[in-house]
Amino acid sequence: MPGLAGLVNAAGMVFSSTNAALTEVYGNLGVKADFNDIDNGNCGPYAGYLAVKGWDFCTGVGSIRGKNGK
């Protein structure tokens, strides 16, 4: 999540805590303009986790599309 924290701050939205910043990030998960949801693949042959729609252990919130909406 360091990359997302950097984007949140670069967008000019400085929060009082990490929890507040992450609440903003997770609140935007369904916004297609903000995130590319990676929903296919796995974390490797021995990890046992699959990428699924929404948050998952492999890709987290997915890849970001820039600082808009953060």
Per-position pLDDT tens, the chain of length 70? 556 666 666 666 677 777 887 787 777 776 777 778 888 988 887 778 898 988 888 888 888 776 665 5
Determine the pLDDT at residue 17: 78
Give every CB contact of residue 42 below 8 A, 6+ residues apart in sequence. Answer: 49, 50, 51, 58
Cβ pair 58, 49 in contact under 8 A:
yes
